[in-house]
Structure 1
Amino acid sequence: MDEREAAAEAPGGVTIYEVAQRAGVSIATVSRTLRGTGPVAGPTREKVLRAVQELRFTPSRAGVSLAEGRHAANGIVFPNLSGPYFAEVLIGYEEVASELGRSVIILSTKGRTAIRDLVRELARRVDGLAVFGSTVPADLVDELAASGPPLVLISHAERAGACTLRSENIRPAAELARHLLDHGHRSFAFLGAPYATGDDVDQRWQGVRGVLGDAVRPVLTDEYTVDSGHAAALRLLAGPDRPDAVICSDDEVALGAILAAEELGLAVPGDVAVTGWDDIMAARHARPALTTVRQPMRELGAGAARTLDALISGTGAAGAHRVLDTELIVRGSCGPHPPGGLRK
């Protein structure tokens, strides 16, 4: 008995191979029947279940996976595990993966060296891989898509050979910019300028710039965090060309900008308007409450886990692309509602 057969052995000594032999089907068909991860014809399903009952086979998740040459695990690569945004995406991913009977191996690249080697090693240890944003270099993404396990990209531009899942950015960013114009604001800064062409923040910049043109200027932050937003906003708001409104790449950067305005004795929104993106919990309880764009953070992770499972089980189409809806949420940080108003 080899290692795989031993691993596929039930507590009573019966293996998945014996079930397949009794039913006259492949072990992959036995696995799909027991796990419900793919289509199985009615008569075939009945044969498998009858064999399971006759042999008193109790399947082991690890054993079934090994018998199929699988790991019963998915990998996910994040740039960072801190902050409410990444936490929500990861929770959504892990919850669905667990429901589907898959464990999750997480690789955070923050502060790591030899990232390429780490990602390649992870890809060899899992049945499928999800990659967040621009965490992995583009050429390595292409390598994984061509010769690695099934691949899903989260908040990433479309890439040949991989499925992608992201939230809508350009349209709501343009809607946000028009809303600020309706308030009478005429000079703008985009805080947390894009780092990578085609990523989420770049798309938000495109949407804002398409409406505001040269009236908006990009301002870099070191990271998309409260501390980085605070440091960049202090420099911006203390300078001679203070904008009417600061459009932030995400809510954490926006919360840092509000703190910076307070330190400088500026009122929000009286002296400067501030907006964010994501609608994390803190955005609703800030003072003033933050105007932002709500995106389905948890569904990003959940959808990626479902897509990856479908690819692994053979029920999903490679190269599928999905965009989730987002919604402009108007609160107090950009001033009173303009004539006609918008929903809160």
Structure 2
Amino acid sequence: MTIYEVAKRAGVSIATVSRTLRGTGPVAAKTREKVLKAVEELNFTPSRLGVSLAEGRHAANGIVFPTLGGPYYAEVLLGYEEVASELGRSVLILSAKGGSNVREAVKELAGRVDGLVVFGRTVPGDVVAELAGMPLVFISCGPMAGADTLRCENVESARVLAGHLRGHGYRRFAFLGAPHTPGDDISERWEGVESVLGGAVRPVPTAEYTVEGGYEAARKLLRKKSRPRALICSGDEVALGALLAAEEYGLAVPEDLAVTGWDDIMAARHARPALTTIRQPMRELGAQAARVLDELITRPRPERHRTLPTQLVVRSSCGIHPQEDP
């Protein structure tokens, strides 16, 4: 049985059948009774795809990442796909990295889905403006008009981390992953760190937030005579690259150099030494994004902006008994 046969039996439109079964719009009591009677007589079980087609929908969501490389994006995507599957929605994924025309790719994707989740500022502002009116959720991004936003807390956690390191007696710091876009996650982490350490910390840019990017940035920094005593890295992958650079220069961590990260990916727990980091709920971030987008698709409402909590995880890379700075 299909939704079309139910509509024919009840003498109503397929849209009315859909509204009755989903409770997404007003239906007269007598009409509702006819629809439910037809459903029972035909032993009809609604499919998500059939209902979506009846409502002029795709039963699919889109998600746009800057890249699909690295464990952080993988965890967010896993959380997103698990919930989307529970909701009966397929997921179309677009990676902006290496794309020759991101604008056109995003517009084409938008035409094939019921709503979009976008990571950070991956999509140009003028394209976002063109998508106005479509259900939109932005991850790891500050509040935006016309869209829901979800992010993990950054500023206060960065302050706690910086205070913890200062409590060890360190006096010279570097922040690997200098801010590029006002209001993004990295900028907020820098803001929190600088508010505690002031002029004792300096920003050091990384080409990318990857192991390679962290390695190259730390390598240039550590070969200098006046190297910092502690590296505060904007992400765990950057921190893992810094550990490689320290090993190359014969520096022991944490005896000669303290290193911290952000995210708490699995590799951070198994690094040698184990990495002090800020744990953020990556998988839950993706899961909530899928739920929020489904809310916006099925029952449009004013935008909301949510922040998930994070937590300092202290391990040995920050120095349990550090030496005093020379």
Say yes or no: TM over 0.5.
yes
Query: Contact between 1:93 and 1:298, CA under 8 Å: does it hold in 2?
Result: yes
Q: Could you say which residue in structure 2 is the equivalent of 1:212?
A: 197
Q: 5 Å matches for 1:217-256?
A: 217-256=202-241
1:165 and 1:61, CA in 2 relative to 1: closer, same or farther beyond 3 A? same
For residues 14-47 of structure 1, the C-alpha deviation after alignment (integer angstroms, 9 at most, x for no partner) is: x42442465576644533554x575888967665
Give the CA deviation at 1:195: 2.0
The amino acid of 1:128's aligned partner reads: G
Is residue 154 from structure 1 mapped to residue 154 from structure 2 by the alignment? no
Q: Could you say which residue in structure 2 is the equivalent of 1:49?
A: 36
RMSD: 2.2
Give the Cα–Cα distance (whole angstroms) in 2 for the partners of residues 185 and 272 of structure 1.
10
Give the Cα–Cα distance (whole angstroms) in 1 for the partners of residues 62 and 44 of structure 2.
30
Q: Secondary structure at the match of 2:111?
A: helix
Identity %: 69
Query: Contact between 2:176 and 2:233, CA under 8 Å: does it hold in 1?
Result: yes
Structure 2's unaligned 5+ residue stretches are none
Query: Contact between 2:153 and 2:309, CA under 8 Å: does it hold in 1?
Result: yes
Is residue 200 from structure 1 mapped to residue 210 from structure 2 by the alignment? no
Q: Could you say which residue in structure 2 is the equivalent of 1:5?
A: none
Q: Could you say which residue in structure 1 is the equivalent of 2:265?
A: 280
1:37 and 1:264, CA in 2 relative to 1: closer, same or farther beyond 3 A? farther
Give the CA deviation at 1:255: 0.6
Give the CA deviation at 1:318: 3.1
Q: Mean Cα displacement is larger for which, 103-112 or 316-325?
A: 316-325
For residues 99-150 of structure 1, the C-alpha deviation after alignment (integer angstroms, 9 at most, x for no partner) is: 0000000000111111001001111110000001121122322332x24x20
Give the structure-1-normalised TM-score.
0.87
Give the Cα–Cα distance (whole angstroms) in 2 for the partners of residues 271 and 78 of structure 1.
37
Is residue 326 from structure 1 mapped to residue 313 from structure 2 by the alignment? no
Give the CA deviation at 1:174: 0.6
Is residue 177 from structure 1 mapped to residue 162 from structure 2 by the alignment? yes
Is residue 116 from structure 1 mapped to residue 103 from structure 2 by the alignment? yes
Query: Contact between 2:16 and 2:27, CA under 8 Å: does it hold in 1?
Result: no
The amino acid of 2:315's aligned partner reads: R
Give the CA deviation at 1:241: 2.3
Q: 5 Å matches for 1:1-344?
A: 10=1, 15-20=2-7, 22-23=9-10, 27-28=14-15, 30-31=17-18, 34=21, 36=22, 38=24, 47-144=34-131, 146-147=132-133, 149-314=134-299, 317-336=301-320
Give the Cα–Cα distance (whole angstroms) in 1 for the partners of residues 78 and 28 of structure 2.
35
For residues 293-330 of structure 1, the C-alpha deviation after alignment (integer angstroms, 9 at most, x for no partner) is: 0000001100000000000001x533111100000111
Q: Secondary structure at the match of 2:92?
A: strand
1:304 and 1:334, CA in 2 relative to 1: closer, same or farther beyond 3 A? same
For residues 239-282 of structure 1, the C-alpha deviation after alignment (integer angstroms, 9 at most, x for no partner) is: 13200110000000001101110110001111111000000011
For residues 150-175 of structure 1, the C-alpha deviation after alignment (integer angstroms, 9 at most, x for no partner) is: 00000111110000000000000011
Q: Secondary structure at the match of 2:226?
A: coil
Give the CA deviation at 1:222: 1.0
Give the Cα–Cα distance (whole angstroms) in 2 for the partners of residues 109 and 197 of structure 1.
20
1:102 and 1:223, CA in 2 relative to 1: closer, same or farther beyond 3 A? same
Aligned residues: 321
Give the Cα–Cα distance (whole angstroms) in 2 for the partners of residues 37 and 275 of structure 1.
50
Give the Cα–Cα distance (whole angstroms) in 1 for the partners of residues 33 and 85 of structure 2.
27
Structure 1's unaligned 5+ residue stretches are 1-9, 339-344
The amino acid of 2:312's aligned partner reads: L
